[in-house]
Amino acid sequence: MTAFRRHSTRAALAGIGAVALLAATACGNDTRDDIAEASAPALRQSMETLVRSGFPGVQVVFGGPDGSRTVTAGAGDLRTGAPITDDARVRIGSNTKTFVATVVMQLVAEGRVDLDAPVERYLPGVVRGNGNDGNRITVRQLLQHTSGLPDYLAGGDPESWHEANTAQLRPDTDAVRWRHYTPEELIGAAMTMPPNFEPGAKAVYTNTNYVLLGMLIERVTGRSTADEINGRIIEPLGLRDTYFPAAGETGIRGPHPVGYQEVDGTRVDFTEVDPSWADTAGAMVGTGADLNRFFIALLDGTLVPQAQLTEMRRTVPFDRMPGAGYGLGLIRLPVSCGKEVWGHGGSIPGFETRNGVASDGTAVTLTVNQLPTSQQAADAVQTAFDAAVCTG
């Protein structure tokens, strides 16, 4: 599960016969003009293009000072043709990383974690083996993906699955989909592989980093990372539709679309999965509206003091998205209209979300209920997100 990753081009997109349905709903202080704006031609066209190109459905949720509005196209369930509902919960993938980073930065503000201390101080003996050394990697480097640690999770390109990385997990296989993993098992798999580069030499997006950060939170606080996220973020912000799945939980609570995945060229229902393989790097569930509220609160200083927020916004080049910058669990996102946009995004079998908050406080979350299966499809999702940000 990654933020914006390249996906395999081996699986062809399966076409669907349904005609794209575009609808807009509004709540709060929105007016008919807001709805019309949300359905502006560029956004409407890009969403319809996504559905025509093979994505089952797409939802765009706008949030900000003037309330919330939602635009949908296509189907949340191909069997019934029902659209993705406004209150639909989805697996938010690597947006989980920003929740984890926020808790870590709160602990930094409390003086309980030092950003530039070695990981070994908090997790003695955990990062060790095959050249991996927790004494040489800092907490900051975990947050910013500059640790050099190998990823326990296979990427989207099958050509990256080679003999040197046989320990990597492939989440679209039944062997991984239904098995329950502990964080120790995930890190153990990573430690069977050598580092990818020297700590601090560059940034390469790696899920191992955020599983370790989850372990660090638990070691420092004496509570589960899920409990810390709930008590520090979810409850204070009233994110009623956001949660960290319980151990062994495979379904999605409440209203949700079907999540589809291309497996060996066939589209399958991938809604149910044991997301423990994603752990604190990407296991959470939420809604577009909740994601918007979370990122707005983070970026306006509600969740972390300004000093820590400034650190989160210090970026390095993001290897998964040209022109973007990766901070400490935050991504500076390039858009065609020149707005300054910060967010993250997430990909997990069944769902992809792209989200960001512009400097005017307007937030956008776009969700599709199937991962792209080609770079062209991934680019189409980015085009729709860009249109949404520049429309909002």
**Which residues does the annotation mark as catalytic?**
94
Number of other CB atoms surrounding residue 130 within 10 Å: 12
How far apart, in whole angstroms, are the C-alpha atoms of residue 162 and residue 173? Answer: 17
How far apart, in whole angstroms, are the C-alpha atoms of residue 249 and residue 273? Answer: 8
How far apart, in whole angstroms, are the C-alpha atoms of residue 239 and residue 241? Answer: 6
How far apart, in whole angstroms, are the C-alpha atoms of residue 379 and residue 392? Answer: 20
**Closest to 225 measured CA to CA, from 152, 283, 159, 312:** 283
CA angle, 325 then 331 then 337, to 5°: 80
Tell me if residue 9 falls in helix, strand or coil. Answer: coil
User: Which residues have C-beta within 8 Å of that of residue 254, sequence separation ≥ 6?
Assistant: 87, 89, 241
The string of DSSP letters for 236-272 reads: HHT-TT-BPPPTT--S--SS-PPPEEEETTEEEE---
Number of other CB atoms surrounding residue 10 within 10 Å: 13
* Residue 289: alpha-carbon gap to chain centroid: 15
Q: Tokens in use for 244? A: 């960290």
